[in-house]
Structure formats: C-alpha cells, structure tokens
Structure 1
Amino acid sequence: MGSALPLGDPAPRDGLLPASAAVGALERDFGVYLHVPFCRVRCGYCDFNTYTATELRGASQHDYAGQAVAEVESAGRILRDSGVADREATTVFFGGGTPTLLPAADLVRMLDSVRDTWGLAAGAEVTTEANPDSVDAAYLVALAAAGFTRVSFGMQSAVPRVLATLERTHDPERIPLVTAWARDAGLDVSLDLIYGTPGETRADWRASLEQAIGLAPNHISAYSLIVEDGTKLARQIRRGELAPVDEDTQAEYYELADELLEAAGYGWYEVSNWATDAAHRSRHNLAYWRSQDWWGVGPGAHSHVGGIRWWNVKHPSAYADRILAGDSPAAGRETLDEATREVERVLLLTRIREGIRIDSLSPLGRREVAGLIADELINAKAALSGTVELTRRGRLLADAVVRRLLAD
C-alpha cells in the first residue's frame, strides 16, 4: 500500500456498490486481503501505509482485530445488499506492515471472520507475511492449526550490511530457523528478496540467492529496490550519503536471479516471482494480475469488485472512528471505464507467464508481435501458439512491451 491514495469520487457512507459490480460475479474468483498496518520500526525504503507505535495517534494494536472483523462482517452485508452473488473466498492474504506483530490469536480471529462471513473454498490459499524476528515455532503451529497454508518471510538479504542499509532489524541467521519451523508446522514457505540496494555487490546478491535457494522454499520473490519520494532512503541518496540505485546493475542482478533460480528448478510465473511448480504459485497475487475480485480490509486497503475499485481511509485512527460509527471505511472509489480496463488487462496479463492471447489484442497490437519476436522480447514458440510470453530480456523491458501491445 503506497503512501498516497489515488484520486476518485467520494465513497458513500453505506459502502453500497453500483449494480454493475454484480454482473458476472459468479464467473470471477473472490479473495480477501487483510492489511495490518503496524511495524516495530519503519524501514528507510518503505512507502507502504504502515505505522510505528509513536505514529498511531490514539489507535490501538490491541483493538485492531476487532475492527477488522467488524469490516469483514460489514463487507458481507454490503455485497449482499448490492446484489453481488455470494462466493467463498478462494484466497486470503494478511499483509502489512507486519501482520505477525499481532498475537496469533488475533490473526486467527480475523481468518475465522472471513470463514464465517463468506466461507473458504476447498483448498483455499491462506497466507500471512512475516518478519523473521516476529514469529517462533509455537506461533506458526497456531496459524497452521487455524487454517493458514502459507507464510511469506521478508528475508530481503543474507548480508548483514545490506540489511543495515535497508534498516531491516532481523538477524539473517534466523532465516533457516523460521523456515524450518514453518515447514515443520505444515506451512508452505515463500522468501522475499530485494536487489539493487546501494552498496550491494554482485557477490552479496549471489550469496542471498544461494542461501534462499539452499533453504528450499516453495516460492521466491525478488524485487528491485525502488526509491520512493518522501522516504528516508530517498533523502539519504539526495544528500549523497548513499549511492543512487543503478538500473543497469539491477538488470544484471535480475538476470543472475533468473539464471540461478531456473537452474535450481524454480520457474518464473510473474516478472518478480518464481515457484517450484504451478501448485505453489501465489494464487492470491495471480488473482490481482487476472483482475479478479477482492475485498481489502484495513486502513488504506484497496478493493476491486466487477470494475469498481475503492480504497479505505489511511490512518488507523480514522479507520477506527469509521468502524466505531458503523460507517464504511471507504474514502473514495472509481468505476473503471472500458478503455482503462483494457489497458490494465494488457498490462497485468503480459507480466505473467501464461501471458495474453494475441487474438485478444487490438489489430495494431497484433501487428507489433512480429517486431517483438525479432527484438527477442517475446517467446517465438509461444507466439506460434497464440500467446505473448516474455523472454528474460522482455521481462526487463516489460513496460516497453506493453506500450507496443497497446498501440492504437
């Protein structure tokens, strides 16, 4: 969740959705995102909607689970009253912030509210993000017993000085411990990595990749460091305290990641994500990229149902006030027009390995395919089968590929 909310129309206090949101609902999957906006410390690069204890302005971590449960229950009523067909949740994702700063019982209570309100589909994927220093073995066992299926650890790097630059507080030696505890509890494991941190060498990045691969998680994400305006990291770079992030170096590190991960048996399925097999891809994130429906719970959380997108008030205090008053916490919303939905469809589907069907593109977009093959940006064999699939080079230039596919 970024630090700024988008522009849009004011959301109604009752949260009701227009009739168009209900059209075709049974043809779309439904997921739930639960945002836990608390962090022990703020990392210098972070632009997400998170708050440390000194920034809560009267809001309470202790009360938060009850507020989230209230929004879930309200969401169930809003969807029914808006005529949106009842659907079980196929995925549930706890993100943040650091969800595991809350007691395990709070996360379980929030999951139970989703189960009670919508039900969980058979084989539903239930994920929480976690910092390595925010859980122990008993915590993970409690989550697994309640129906969580997956934990995503913010490893970021195996190199202490890189973690220090990022202001991550965990000891990298804890990563093998939490990974083993999660696996012993019966949870699938994902590890999140960041590359291109100022001062990170190629050897540093290789060491992080090799440690992550050596732990044999089911899933690995690798994201390039993005320097967001207004963050401490941006100020440090502007003052010359840290070197600027180098895009050529980041491209080189991405190629190294893909080479090592592919050699270790991980297949890419989205530009920044690799899994051991199709069963261990993040189904929740795939639902975002496929423009399915989801309800976002919590301060600043975004939702999307049937082409209607909305977002909640940002601060936990404002969110708590809305919930206590019985009002929808939504601050604003927008109805996506056909042109916007088409741009997003091409943008998002192009990023995933299954790609986008060539025959679903505009005539001018289809004409670009031959040139993209010649430029080695899309896979020629996949194109013969009627699909745009990015090559490794194409993944590095995904935005440029999308612009060409959207030619009009």
Structure 2
Amino acid sequence: MPSALPDGEPVPDDGALPAHALAGAAERPLGFYLHVPYCATRCGYCDFNTYTATELRGTGGVLASRDNYADTLIDEVRLARKVLGDDPRPVRTVFVGGGTPTLLAADDLVRMLGAIRDEFGLADDAEITTEANPESVDPRYLETLRAGGFNRISFGMQSARQHVLKVLDRTHTPGRPEACVAEARAVGFEHVNLDLIYGTPGESDDDWRASLDAALGAGPDHVSAYALIVEEGTQLARRIRRGEVPMTDDDVHADRYLIADEVLSGAGFDWYEVSNWATSAAGRCLHNELYWRGADWWGAGPGAHSHVGGVRWWNVKHPGAYAGALAAGRSPGAGRELLSEEDRRVERILLELRLREGCPLSLLRAEGLAAARRARAEGLLESGPYGEGRAVLTLRGRLLADAVVRDLVD
C-alpha cells in the first residue's frame, strides 16, 4: 500500500501561503504536477499513492471515482489561482503522473491541461508531459493528447524481457513500448522518454543489455534508468521475504549502472542527472529540473506535494478525502512545513550534486569542504570543476552518490 505522509503543521482551509512565500515569485519558474492516482493493477514493487478499482471499492463512493476525477482536479487548479493571487507567471512545465494517467480519457487529460492554460497561461515554450503505460494508449489516444497541447510523453518500459516484466507485475508485452514510441513520433510528439528499471530479481547482465538496446532502437531522446528499490509493505518485498525470488545487491546495481552509462553514452546520450540521460539539452526533462533546482511547483491531486517560495505542503492521500475537501470548499492540504535557510541549503546539496553541473562548493560548511577535498582525492569528484568552485561527481562518484552527499552535507 502507499507509504505514509510526513508530519507537518496544518494547512489553512483556504490554502493561503505566508507572504514571504510569494515574495519575488515572478523571478522563479512555475510548474504544475497533476497526480492521477489510478492503476488497473498494482505492480509488485510500487508503493506510490495509487489505487486499483478493488482497493477503492466502498472507500469513497462517487468521490473516489475516476469518472469525475478531471473535474475534481480542475477545482484544485482553480484553488491554486486563488492562493497565488495575481502571480503573473505563465506555467513553464506541466507533468501528469501517477498511477496511470492514461487510464483517464485523453479528453480528460486535455481538459486538465486546459484549466491550467485558462487560469495561468502557458509559456510559449512550455514542456507538457504525461506518463503513459504502453498497454493503455493507442494512436488515436496519442493523437488527442498531441492535438490538445502535450508535447512530451514518458512510457514505462522497465524491461524488454518477459520474465523480468513478470517479476515486476507489468502487464505489457515486450515490444509494445517501442511501438508506442513510433506511434507518438507519428502524431508529432517532439520528446519521448522511456523509463527502465535495473536490478530486478532474476535479471541478468544480458537481459539488461537487451533492454537498453531495445530502448535505444525505439528512438527516444531521453532514457531514465533506476535501480529497483524494494520497499517494505510491497508485494515484491513479501515475495523476497518468503524466498520466492532472490534479492539483488548493491554490487549488481553498480554493474548494471556502469553498463547503462556505457551503452547510453555510446549511443549519443549524455547524463545530466544521476539516473537520467538525454540526446541534447532540449531533450532533458525540464519539469524534473524545476524540482532539482528548488523552483516553484504546485502539485494537484491526492498525496501530491507542492513547493512555493520555501513552503512545502502535501495533500491528503485518499481520492475520496481529496475530492471531499474540494467539494466542501477547503484546501485538500494535509500538512506543510516552512523550510529554514539551513533546510534549503541542505536540500540544494542533496539535489544539485546529482546534476551534471554539480553544486557550488560555497554551499558547504567546513566539514563538508573537508569531505569534498577527500572525495576529489579519492576520484569521486571531478578535478576540473572542483578547481572552479563546483562539486561534480565522476562516474565512480555517481555509483556512490548517496554516500558522497551524506559526507558533504556534514
């Protein structure tokens, strides 16, 4: 089941933000994340805030239904307009995630985007992305999305091997994600991402290379590759605990990452974040870069997180509770926190160190600077950028990114 929300102070019923959060807003990019919390089935490794029809049955009635979900989410977009007041910023990025956004009708996704356009306006070069499961779209669906303003799509491929997909409880067949890329290109999508997962129990190095080769053969301009994390409470964790499938280890993950970087780099993809590669700057996911660089974004939907001007808040998780709050004229916010300058400094290090450009050494305290010197001497940070005042991970440093970050945060 979905993981728990963090603690925090209450969100005002009207969702109002402190004045300092809105100060200088015009100088910061603004994005929207739209969460669609529905899935046809629950993947065994997933602990995201998603719900199947069976899980929702009897726990929210019509309010939890996906049939009227678009209207409910549009209500939150209108609330965002009220909270942000006369904020003049057009929206720079929109990202629809889940769950499986493409379980909704394509027209619903277009209407949700239209509400943002109507309330805020979209930047001329706005990046508009939706996630999609390969089995939940067809050419007509994709054509509707493209005509409605979406220009980027991310398909959950995960693997090209059937036995790996089976362990992950993915329902699409090998080859379908590649066909989806062709269909998306045919209707005019400018940017296409494929998500891959490595380290699945039973996956071999050859399986992983086959998945990378299949992904590259499809012709995306972006690939995300993530190590499988086995979260407590998931079906996969229970299967591993019962001994039904083996657990991979950190050494396997490291080997698979090196394979990914070798294959993707050899095909003309450059890493720009530890788990993300693109063929050009235009192919990067601008929405994720808003997160990584501490910009402003409004997360609409059950369990969605938002950040504006150093205030972070999160919505109630259940679709019924979420819809009920909005129907009653209240913010669906469950809690919030006001980030201190120290909080924001630490978060900048945590996030920016994972980027190709790295983080400024000026963010580090004395102990962090000493750790950076050691990391450079050990080959974990690149020497050139270090001499220019930036901490940039080497390939070996990327393998140990979490440990390097812990040391630098001091």
TM-score where L is the length of structure 2? 0.96
Q: Which residue number corresponds to residue 79 of structure 1?
A: 84
Give the counterpart letter for 1:392 in structure 2. Answer: L
Is residue 347 of structure 1 aligned with residue 338 of structure 2? no
In 1: Cα distance, 2:2 partner to 2:260 partner: 26
SS of the aligned residue for 2:312 comes to strand
Residue 284 of structure 1: which of 284, 287, 296 is its match? 287
1:147 is displaced (CA, Å) by 0.9
Give the counterpart letter for 1:76 in structure 2. Answer: R
Give the counterpart letter for 1:18 in structure 2. Answer: P
Cα deviations across residues 230-253 of structure 1 (Å, max 9, x unaligned)?
A: 101111111111111311101110
1:144 is displaced (CA, Å) by 0.8
1:227 is displaced (CA, Å) by 0.5
Is residue 305 of structure 1 aligned with residue 308 of structure 2? yes
Q: Which residue number corresponds to residue 295 of structure 1?
A: 298
SS of the aligned residue for 2:353 comes to helix
Give the counterpart letter for 2:219 in structure 1. Answer: A
Q: Which residue number corresponds to residue 35 of structure 1?
A: 35
| Aligned residue runs from structure 1 range 112-127, under 5 A | 112-127=114-129
| Aligned residue runs from structure 1 range 127-166, under 5 A | 127-166=129-168
Cα deviations across residues 8-35 of structure 1 (Å, max 9, x unaligned)?
A: 1111111101112112212211000000
Q: Structure 1 unaligned segments of length 5 or more: list them.
A: none
In 2: Cα distance, 1:358 partner to 1:303 partner: 28
SS of the aligned residue for 1:10 comes to coil
SS of the aligned residue for 1:230 comes to coil
Judge conservation of contact 2:179–2:218 (CA < 8 Å) in 1.
no
SS of the aligned residue for 1:100 comes to helix
Q: Which residue number corresponds to residue 227 of structure 1?
A: 230
Judge conservation of contact 2:45–2:237 (CA < 8 Å) in 1.
yes
Residue 173 of structure 1: which of 172, 175, 190 is its match? 175
1:48 is displaced (CA, Å) by 0.2
1:371 is displaced (CA, Å) by 1.6
Q: Sequence identity, in percent?
A: 59
Is residue 259 of structure 1 aligned with residue 258 of structure 2? no
Cα deviations across residues 185-240 of structure 1 (Å, max 9, x unaligned)?
A: 11111000000000101110010011111112010000000000110111111111
In 2: Cα distance, 1:34 partner to 1:360 partner: 32
Cα deviations across residues 137-157 of structure 1 (Å, max 9, x unaligned)?
A: 111111111110100000000
In 2: Cα distance, 1:396 partner to 1:286 partner: 21
1:389 is displaced (CA, Å) by 1.1
Q: Which residue number corresponds to residue 318 of structure 1?
A: 321
In 1: Cα distance, 2:333 partner to 2:206 partner: 46
In 1: Cα distance, 2:110 partner to 2:393 partner: 39
Residue 60 of structure 1: which of 65, 82, 92 is its match? 65
In 2: Cα distance, 1:226 partner to 1:99 partner: 22
Q: Which residue number corresponds to residue 10 of structure 1?
A: 10
Judge conservation of contact 2:385–2:392 (CA < 8 Å) in 1.
yes
Q: Which residue number corresponds to residue 333 of structure 2?
A: 330
In 2: Cα distance, 1:369 partner to 1:345 partner: 15
In 2: Cα distance, 1:200 partner to 1:275 partner: 25
Is residue 387 of structure 1 aligned with residue 390 of structure 2? yes
Aligned length, in residue pairs: 404
SS of the aligned residue for 1:49 comes to coil
1:2 is displaced (CA, Å) by 5.6
Cα deviations across residues 29-75 of structure 1 (Å, max 9, x unaligned)?
A: 10000000000000010000000011222211111000000110111
Judge conservation of contact 2:167–2:201 (CA < 8 Å) in 1.
yes
Q: Which residue number corresponds to residue 108 of structure 2?
A: 106
1:381 is displaced (CA, Å) by 1.6
Residue 196 of structure 1: which of 178, 199, 203 is its match? 199
In 2: Cα distance, 1:359 partner to 1:134 partner: 47
Structure 1: 4+ residue segments shifted above 2 A: 359-370
In 2: Cα distance, 1:308 partner to 1:244 partner: 38
Cα deviations across residues 112-141 of structure 1 (Å, max 9, x unaligned)?
A: 000011110110000000000110011111
Give the counterpart letter for 2:117 in structure 1. Answer: R
Q: Which residue number corresponds to residue 205 of structure 1?
A: 208
In 2: Cα distance, 1:240 partner to 1:176 partner: 33
Which has the larger displacement, 159-168 or 138-147?
A: 138-147
Q: Which residue number corresponds to residue 405 of structure 1?
A: 408
Q: Which residue number corresponds to residue 185 of structure 1?
A: 187
In 1: Cα distance, 2:120 partner to 2:81 partner: 7
1:373 is displaced (CA, Å) by 1.4
Give the counterpart letter for 1:336 in structure 2. Answer: L
Q: Which residue number corresponds to residue 376 of structure 1?
A: 379
Give the counterpart letter for 2:329 in structure 1. Answer: G
Give the counterpart letter for 2:277 in structure 1. Answer: W
In 1: Cα distance, 2:318 partner to 2:174 partner: 32
In 1: Cα distance, 2:396 partner to 2:303 partner: 35
In 1: Cα distance, 2:288 partner to 2:65 partner: 29
In 1: Cα distance, 2:102 partner to 2:396 partner: 37
In 1: Cα distance, 2:48 partner to 2:29 partner: 26
Give the counterpart letter for 1:334 in structure 2. Answer: E
In 1: Cα distance, 2:346 partner to 2:224 partner: 25
SS of the aligned residue for 1:13 comes to coil
Give the counterpart letter for 1:103 in structure 2. Answer: A
1:323 is displaced (CA, Å) by 1.3
